[in-house]
Amino acid sequence: MDSQPAVPDPSVGTEPGSGEVMTVKSDVAPADAEQAPPAKTRKAVVIAWAKRLLVVAVLAGATWSLVGQWDEVSARLLALPWQSVVLSLVAVFVGIFLGPLVWKIVLSDLGAPVRFVDASKFYLVGQLGKYVPGAVWAVLLSMELAREAGVNRARSFTAGLVATGMGVLASLIAGLAALPVMLSGRPESNQLLWLFLLLAVGLPFLHPKLLTWSVNLVLKTLRKAPIDRRFTGVEILKALGTAVAIYLCYGVHLWLLVNSLGSPRWDTLILSTGAMALSMTAGLLAFFLPSGLGARELVITGTIATVLPLPDAIALALVSRLMFTIADLVSAGAAALLAYVQKKRGAPVPVPAED
């Protein structure tokens, strides 16, 4: 039988004039060879550890706030009808989970669309930064988490600026409901009437052209590139409407607590909504206090004391604070857990944005 001719191996050859076989190494690396991941720079390592320490500090601050309030408020909380407490807490959760939707709408209008689960993670977890004195921590944490979701720092800062501004305007719109009571109520409530000047100043900035111009002015001041598209009126109204709905939920939360101590009154719902809306803005302006501690309670007490005895109004303001702290911690944990589960299930993971 004739044998088949040997097929020459391209990886070997013979040196001319010799009968020995010479091995030739291929310069082409195997296609499936794994490449070593690039080494992290010292700056990247420092930033990663700084984020971890910030998260730990934020969680410690929120936990300390919860523990510090518990002994003082738990007796009053447990004395309330459990149905009112549960429904009131549900209203807080609904309002809190509407917050990421505002960010999602604003980011989409800026040309940086994100999934709701990603917006929930960087908004809800980032909001825990308010439990550390100084508003800068909440901003920094939200920006870093948004970057991991594919949104660069400039876009997340812009979205945060616009969402916060809309939140203030929405709170003042809802707070108009409490204006008649504030005019005839306790003196400490009258001290906040100047807040409504912000409403007159801020409403014109809801116009797409003026909003885009003002945002670009801020970015120019910070030496950042301007946004490459203009805000749209429909998206602005959607974000503002969602923000107003948040304060309606918070109003229902307080109304349920107030009615648990007296006969149900529907007009108290309007008063409670205005009280919660204005208290949130007062807490935001008192950024040097952890989560506006004291400022929110002052507004709620001064307003609710018009329909309840002062000791009861003070007690409900403290109960409301405790319920918000619990809801903040639980919702942030739920958002982070959901993002982790989706990642484990193989859901697409956003590529961190380059600044």
Q: Are 219 and 158 in contact (CB under 8 A)?
A: yes
The mean per-residue pLDDT over the stretch 275-288 comes to 79
Identify any residues that bridge with 22 across adjacent strands, giving them in sequence order: 13
pLDDT band per the 50, 70, 90 thresholds, residue 33: very low
Q: Residue 80: what pLDDT?
A: 83
Q: Residue 87: what pLDDT?
A: 95
pLDDT band per the 50, 70, 90 thresholds, residue 291: low
pLDDT band per the 50, 70, 90 thresholds, residue 187: low
Which has more confidence, 190 or 25?
190
Q: Are 14 and 29 in contact (CB under 8 A)?
A: no
181 CB burial (10 A radius; 0-12, 13-18, 19+): buried
Q: Are 338 and 117 in contact (CB under 8 A)?
A: yes
Quick one: which of 277, 262, 256 has its CA closest to 319?
256
Which has more confidence, 250 or 179?
250
Which has more confidence, 23 or 251?
251
Share of the chain above pLDDT 70, in %: 67
CA distances from 262 to 73, 248, 273, 303 (A): 19, 21, 17, 16
Pairing of strands 12-14, 21-23: antiparallel
- pTM (two decimals): 0.75
How many Cβ atoms from other residues are within 10 Å of residue 111's Cβ? 10
